[in-house]
Structure 1
Amino acid sequence: MATESESVGGASATTEEGESSSGRGQIGNGGSYYKHSINGTVFVLPSKYSAPLRHLGRGAYGFVCSAVNSETKEKVAIKKISNAFNNRIDAKKTLREIKLLVHMDHENVIAIKDVVRPRHKEAFEDVYIVYERMDVDLSRIIHSKHPLTENHFQYLLYQILRGLKYIHSGDILHLDLKPSNLLVNSDCLLKIADFGLARTVSETEFMSEFVVTQWYRAPELMLSFSDFTTAIDVWSVGCIFAEMVTRAPLFPAKDYSDQLPIIFELIGSPDEESTGFLRCERARRHALGLNRRPRQNFSDKFPNMKPEAVDLLEKMLVFDPRKRITVQEALCHPYISHLHDDTDEPVCSQPLTFGFENQFLSEEELKELVWRESVRFNPDPAS
């Protein structure tokens, strides 16, 4: 199938599916922009992001393509967030992701390279965020025929936890950890990506229980527990760890209502004590009222896992978030302790807080803040 696009200047072109067709035109800000159509999604980008662009996938609230920065020769990934300012929630998510990535600097966290400056300040609706380019996501590795060894499991798991240690030290919760949001290079370097659903702990605005992708969602999110903690991310890591080893999703429920029962089939139904963290009596009754299930023996369920790996997995998949292992404790666990080194696991110098988090800002005010971020990356030339 071919794709088609019109340039800003009116020309058109077609290419094979997965690549872009593009045209060129002069569009403000003192530079030229290309208009690309990639699998039906139009990207309007500065000419420095050279064609051909290729479709990479879809992340939280955006389509992603690959490109090359012709000025720096870097391979990059560009996420388009369409109609980013349709409502306050989406606008705030966009601003938050930019702010978080600008402030973070860690080997296991994806780096932001640019926020494309829009052609016109008043009229722009789409936001383009440019990231460093990685080779593949962990989901593709897991579900490929590429052999994975114990060393792979340990090193990949260690890097996820090392990155989370940094993220959590800044009072940031990722809230959407899953294999497709973990990017890996050919040298097995892993980076945590897609902060479109992340939160700072300081945010007090209501947060939906539907933040984490269903199969990796901690039980407390399905029980409307509103006090989000770092334990949510740890549960997701446990699901990912098991998926790496078995090469199949751990809790592939067919729908939302089936998610808790399928979790309880493995970890067993909770008792009165373990539901004590739930403030909502209705949620407690729901958790206790589901068909009772005994806890499975993890060693029998995962016969190919080393005993130390089984023990770590059990500690991650604990129903009560107060009793779930922390990232720091997991890094010290015997399964990966040979990789652990406190002196080589940097943390944020101080928790991150943003003034906009607890202010009521309109869509236009949030748009202005995103504009300022794009100008910071792409200032006007000196007169």
Structure 2
Amino acid sequence: MCSVNFLNSPSNAGFSAANRERVRKRAEASPTRSLPRARSLPPFPLNRPHLSGRNSARGQSARSDLKSRAAMQSPVRNSPVRPGFHRVEVQKTTWDVPERYATLLAIGSGAYGTVCSAIDQKTKEKVAIKKLYRPFQSLIHAKRAYRELRLLRHIQHDNVICLLNVFTPDSTLEKFQTFYMVMPFVAQDLGHIMKRKRLSDRIITYLFYQLLRGLKYIHSAGIIHRDLKPGNLAVSESCELKILDFGLARQTESEMTGYVVTRWYRAPEVIFNWMHYSQAVDVWSAACILAEMITSTVLFPGHDSIDQLKKILNLTGTPDSSLVQKMQSKDAQSYVQGLPSQKKKNFKLVFPTMNEKALNLLEGMLLLDPEKRLTANQGLAHPFLSEYHDADSEPDSKPYDDSFESLELDVGEWKSLIHMEIMTFDPDNPAQTAM
């Protein structure tokens, strides 16, 4: 399984035994520097993962037992289904799933799919099952579905969501119309937690360390997440963090057009199309999340794109001439050059109560020029995270093959590739079948 407790799992290849023992000794010797305990987090009743999309706003509260019962599965009698599968109805939607998955409960929906929690009767663990909405309705949808599946198959890291299973109820390629992805169940996201309680310094440091640890792994594979925000970070009761939702990862610029997402955590070069994206966009988002964890306030809550830029430049100052020259969009160059000149604010005055080490790290991650921003790897080595940093337990990814991005295929060909991925996946050994 990919849900691994950092301290208690002797088989955790990503977090060395020596480092676990070192952290344990620190915890015993110095309560003020100990690893955050599960009891440090308040209980949260809302158990649902986050999907990008308007129907999954992170502030939504649990309704009532009556509504929960309405979201439960209902068996569909006398319905033909593939052997080894059973058919249930969840909120008027038909789900055909293997018999090992029981007690389906709707927990979220987004632009591209619906998610149910379920009990895996083979492992006795709770999982999340994602059913994609009509994945083959268009070329864009088919390629997006293949991209997400390939990414999830590749990822094997404690701080990033992984794929436990993928299946289709359709018995042949000719009948293939839908598929489901099974992932670890996540009880709460960072957005929910921050709405409920102010985080302690110890928890902030530990969570941010795990965020950068996961980012380093993703970036080493050449993957850009592009939609990091509190709602896309799952946090367990024992303070273990996982990066979620790769729906926008590696997205081509043409597909990004018109896509509505939270802009508050987006790097300025993404919002205004200054230049081609790099992994630095995720570093900017991570910095915004760090500032929000510390201050309990969104750092750049812009009402629209123009207001977003104003709020960013009010802190960072206007771009210097060297950055303007790097902008590949002439319109962006003209617009920025027409802005009134602003100097960078003194971060100590803007964040007077912030820890000096955190302040220094934040400044290095919030540089306007993406080429000058700290990388995730450099952030891990920063003194702010020295309590947990151990280069030997911060693994890189194996090379990720994204050559398919340049393929010009039709819907049927993308469907065939997805079907092949599903047929070659072994749920009993998901790590061994990673592409």
Q: For 2:371 and 2:221, how far apart are their aligned partners in 1?
A: 20
Percent same amino acid among aligned pairs?
Answer: 42
State the partner residue of 1:144: 196
Aligned with 1:335: secondary structure?
A: helix
- Give the gaps of 5 or more residues in structure 1: 1-13
Written as runs of structure 1 = structure 2, the 5 A alignment for 1:257-272 is 257-272=306-321
- Among residues 351, 355, 363, which one is paired with 1:302 in the alignment? 351
Q: What is the RMSD of the two structures over their aligned residues, measured on CA atoms?
A: 2.4
State the partner residue of 2:365: 316
Aligned with 1:215: secondary structure?
A: coil
State the partner residue of 2:98: 46
- Give the gaps of 5 or more residues in structure 2: 1-66, 428-435
Q: For 1:41 and 1:303, how far apart are their aligned partners in 2?
A: 52
- Among residues 166, 173, 191, which one is paired with 2:242 in the alignment? 191
Query: Are the structure 2 counterparts of residues 173 and 210 from structure 1 closer, same or farther at C-alpha, using a change threshold of 3 Å?
Result: farther
Aligned with 1:216: secondary structure?
A: coil
Deviation of the 1:153 alpha carbon: 0.8
Asked whether 1:130 is paired with 2:178, we answer no
Asked whether 1:208 is paired with 2:256, we answer yes
Q: Would you say the 8 A contact 2:115–2:131 is kept in 1?
A: yes
Comparing 233-242 with 209-218, greater Cα deviation is found at: 209-218
Q: Would you say the 8 A contact 1:60–1:196 is kept in 2?
A: no
- Among residues 415, 424, 433, which one is paired with 1:367 in the alignment? 415
Deviation of the 1:158 alpha carbon: 0.5
Q: Would you say the 8 A contact 2:264–2:301 is kept in 1?
A: yes
Aligned with 1:273: secondary structure?
A: helix
Greater RCO, CA 8 A, separation 6+:
2
Aligned with 2:313: secondary structure?
A: helix
Partner AA of 1:366 in structure 2 = W
Aligned with 2:116: secondary structure?
A: strand
State the partner residue of 1:8: none
Q: Report Cα offsets for 1:54-82 as digits up to 9, x if no partner.
A: 33334563222211112221211112210
Q: Would you say the 8 A contact 1:116–1:127 is kept in 2?
A: yes
Query: Are the structure 2 counterparts of residues 75 and 24 from structure 1 closer, same or farther at C-alpha, using a change threshold of 3 Å?
Result: farther
Q: For 2:157 and 2:396, how far apart are their aligned partners in 1?
A: 9
Asked whether 1:344 is paired with 2:405, we answer no
- Which structure has more strand as a fraction of its residues? 1
With structure 2 as the length reference, what TM-score do the two structures score?
Answer: 0.76
**Which 4+ stretches in 1 moved above 4 angstroms?**
203-207, 209-212
Deviation of the 1:313 alpha carbon: 0.8
State the partner residue of 1:7: none
Asked whether 1:29 is paired with 2:82, we answer yes
Comparing 186-195 with 301-310, greater Cα deviation is found at: 301-310
Q: Would you say the 8 A contact 2:105–2:118 is kept in 1?
A: yes
Partner AA of 2:196 in structure 1 = S
Aligned with 2:383: secondary structure?
A: coil
State the partner residue of 2:13: none
State the partner residue of 1:377: 425
Q: For 1:344 and 1:166, how far apart are their aligned partners in 2?
A: 11
Q: For 2:297 and 2:116, how far apart are their aligned partners in 1?
A: 27
Deviation of the 1:214 alpha carbon: 1.2
Partner AA of 2:218 in structure 1 = I
Deviation of the 1:265 alpha carbon: 2.0
Q: Would you say the 8 A contact 1:135–1:185 is kept in 2?
A: yes
- Among residues 153, 165, 172, which one is paired with 1:102 in the alignment? 153
Deviation of the 1:218 alpha carbon: 0.7
Query: Are the structure 2 counterparts of residues 65 and 287 from structure 1 closer, same or farther at C-alpha, using a change threshold of 3 Å?
Result: farther
Q: For 1:62 and 1:291, how far apart are their aligned partners in 2?
A: 44
Q: For 2:68 and 2:227, how far apart are their aligned partners in 1?
A: 34
Comparing 353-362 with 26-35, greater Cα deviation is found at: 26-35
Query: Are the structure 2 counterparts of residues 24 and 301 from structure 1 closer, same or farther at C-alpha, using a change threshold of 3 Å?
Result: farther
Asked whether 1:164 is paired with 2:215, we answer yes
Q: How many residues align?
A: 359
Q: Would you say the 8 A contact 1:232–1:321 is kept in 2?
A: yes
Q: For 1:192 and 1:258, how far apart are their aligned partners in 2?
A: 28
- Which structure has more helix as a fraction of its residues? 2
Query: Are the structure 2 counterparts of residues 305 and 257 from structure 1 closer, same or farther at C-alpha, using a change threshold of 3 Å?
Result: same
Asked whether 1:75 is paired with 2:132, we answer no
Q: Report Cα offsets for 1:105-140 as digits up to 9, x if no partner.
A: 111111201112232443443332110112211111
State the partner residue of 1:290: 339
State the partner residue of 2:401: 353
Q: Would you say the 8 A contact 2:170–2:177 is kept in 1?
A: no
- Among residues 352, 376, 379, which one is paired with 1:330 in the alignment? 379
Q: Report Cα offsets for 1:184-243 as digits up to 9, x if no partner.
A: 1111111111111112xxx87755366763111111112324522110110110111111
Q: For 2:265 and 2:258, how far apart are their aligned partners in 1?
A: 11
State the partner residue of 1:222: 271
Q: For 1:57 and 1:265, how far apart are their aligned partners in 2?
A: 36
Query: Are the structure 2 counterparts of residues 78 and 324 from structure 1 closer, same or farther at C-alpha, using a change threshold of 3 Å?
Result: same
Q: Report Cα offsets for 1:5-64 as digits up to 9, x if no partner.
A: xxxxxxxxx9734433343555443223222223x654332332211x233334563222
